[in-house]
């Protein structure tokens, strides 16, 4: 046991666990705001107002059509220069995840609402509910149930995407690993533990999502 604890595989763990905290912070906070953005843009994509639909569609297509790494660099370097501010790299990371995930969540929201039978809206209107009330009390609960599995998948994707923030020196796991093995010359051992930590999170999450999917029968 002592030999294992003193091995090159375990020595970087304090640094990697520190990076894991940043990874989870960026993921959870970024996805929280990403869901807000995605819900707004998703309903915008469902709007019959051409301006709202157009703006929402432009946002979704731009974000989905460009690499996340380019978005990160644009936000941290380009946006900082444009606004003449010194943007904190953690703020830039959360903003990048929120905007990127928001575009994909917008399509999840749009698809989930579309999947609810149109007769549900007619039924709601027939009992005296307004269109907004019908959406809130009848359509949205059914749609949200169908959103849970893809939202879980988006969590896993965004979690792995945080590794790209090493490009702007955010102290997440990959950056911590690179900093560590640059001085210890143990890239194989260090990166093996990085992959293991990612798997410790993503595999149970994926299994739990499958269980929820079966339970919800979606």
What's the CATH number where 59 sits?
1.10.3720.10
Round to whole Å and give the CA distance between 65 and 151: 20
- Using DSSP, state whether 171 is helix, strand or coil: coil
Round to whole Å and give the CA distance between 20 and 175: 10
Q: Which residues contact 79 (CB under 8 A, 6 or more apart)?
A: 87, 92
Count of domains for the chain: 1
Q: How many helices (H) and strands (E) does the chain have?
A: 11, 0
CB atoms within 10 A of CB 30: 24
Per-residue pLDDT of the chain (218 residues; tens, 9 = 90+): 556 566 788 999 999 999 999 999 999 999 999 999 999 999 999 999 999 999 999 999 999 999 999 999 999 999 999 988 999 999 999 999 999 999 999 999 999 998 888 888 888 888 888 888 888 888 888 898 889 889 999 999 999 999 999 999 999 999 999 999 999 999 999 999 999 999 999 999 999 888 887 877 65
Residues of the domain holding 147: 2-216
Quote the pLDDT of residue 213: 78
Q: Which backbone phi and psi does 34 adopt, to 5 degrees?
A: -65, -35
Round to whole Å and give the CA distance between 40 and 105: 10
Prediction pTM value: 0.91
Q: Which backbone phi and psi does 88 adopt, to 5 degrees?
A: -70, 140
Round to whole Å and give the CA distance between 201 and 196: 9
Quote the pLDDT of residue 202: 95
Round to whole Å and give the CA distance between 177 and 72: 20
């Amino acid at each position: 046991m002592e030999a294992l604890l003193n091995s090159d595989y375990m020595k970087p763990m304090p640094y990697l666990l520190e990076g894991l905290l940043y990874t989870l912070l960026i993921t959870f906070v970024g996805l929280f705001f990403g869901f807000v953005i995605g819900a707004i843009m998703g309903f915008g994509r469902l709007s019959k107002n051409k301006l709202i639909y157009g703006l929402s569609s432009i946002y979704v297509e731009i974000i989905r059509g460009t690499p996340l790494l380019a978005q990160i660099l644009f936000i941290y370097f380009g946006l900082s220069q444009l606004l003449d501010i010194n943007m904190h790299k953690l703020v830039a990371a959360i903003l990048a995840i929120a905007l990127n995930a928001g575009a994909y969540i917008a399509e999840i929201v749009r698809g989930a609402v579309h999947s609810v039978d149109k007769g549900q809206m007619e039924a709601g209107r027939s009992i005296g509910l307004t269109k907004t009330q019908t959406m809130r009390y009848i359509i949205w609960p059914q749609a949200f149930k169908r959103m849970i599995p893809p939202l879980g998948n988006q969590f896993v994707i965004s979690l792995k995407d945080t590794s790209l923030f090493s490009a702007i020196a955010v102290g997440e796991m990959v950056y911590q690993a690179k900093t560590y093995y640059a001085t210890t010359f143990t890239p194989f051992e260090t990166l093996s533990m990085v992959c293991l930590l990612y798997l410790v999170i993503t595999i149970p999450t994926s299994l739990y999502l499958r269980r929820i999917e079966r339970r919800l029968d979606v």
